[in-house]
Amino acid sequence: MNRREPFRPAGGVALVTGAASGMGEQVAIQLAALGSDLALVDRNVDGLTNTAEEAARAGVRVTTYAMDLSEKAAAAALSESVIADHGRATLIVNNAGVGLAGMFAQVSMDEVDWLLDINLRATMAVTSAFLPHLGPGAHITNVSSLFGLIGPVGNAAYSASKFGVRGFSQVLRAELTPRQVGVTAVFPGGIRTAIAKNSRRGTGVSDAEWDFGQAMFEKFLVIEPSTAARRIVAGTIRRKARVLIGPETYVGDAVARLAPAASTRIFEELMRLKARL
Q: Which domain holds residue 142?
A: 13-276
Asked, for residue 195, whether it belongs to a domain, the answer is: yes
Q: Read off the CATH number of the domain in which 107 is found.
A: 3.40.50.720
Asked, for residue 5, whether it belongs to a domain, the answer is: no
In angstroms, the CA 184 to CA 94 distance is 10
Instruction: Print pLDDT tens along the chain (277 aa).
Output: 555 799 999 999 999 999 999 999 999 999 999 999 999 999 999 999 999 999 999 999 999 999 999 999 999 999 999 999 999 999 999 999 998 988 999 999 999 999 999 999 999 999 999 999 999 999 999 999 999 999 888 889 999 999 999 999 999 999 999 999 999 999 998 776 666 567 777 888 777 766 666 656 665 666 899 999 999 999 999 999 999 999 889 988 998 888 888 888 887 777 666 666 5
Beta strands in 189-252 (DSSP E): 200-201, 242-245
Find out whether 170 and 233 touch, Cβ atoms under 8 Å: no
The three-state DSSP-derived secondary structure of 110-124 is HHHHHHHHHHHHHHH
Q: Tell me which DSSP letter residue 154 carries.
A: T
150 φ, ψ to 5°? -145, 145
Residue count of the chain: 277
| Total tally of structural domains belonging to the chain | 1
Catalytic entry in 158, 168, 220, 267: 158
Asked, for residue 138, whether it belongs to a domain, the answer is: yes
In angstroms, the CA 236 to CA 141 distance is 7
In angstroms, the CA 274 to CA 175 distance is 39
Asked, for residue 6, whether it belongs to a domain, the answer is: no
Asked, for residue 266, whether it belongs to a domain, the answer is: yes
Q: Tell me which DSSP letter residue 48 carries.
A: H
Find out whether 69 and 96 touch, Cβ atoms under 8 Å: yes
207 φ, ψ to 5°? -60, -45
Asked, for residue 7, whether it belongs to a domain, the answer is: no
Asked, for residue 224, whether it belongs to a domain, the answer is: yes
Asked, for residue 1, whether it belongs to a domain, the answer is: no
pTM for the predicted model, two decimal places: 0.92
Find out whether 152 and 158 touch, Cβ atoms under 8 Å: no
18 φ, ψ to 5°? 65, 40
In angstroms, the CA 10 to CA 262 distance is 45
In angstroms, the CA 19 to CA 32 distance is 13
158 catalytically annotated: yes
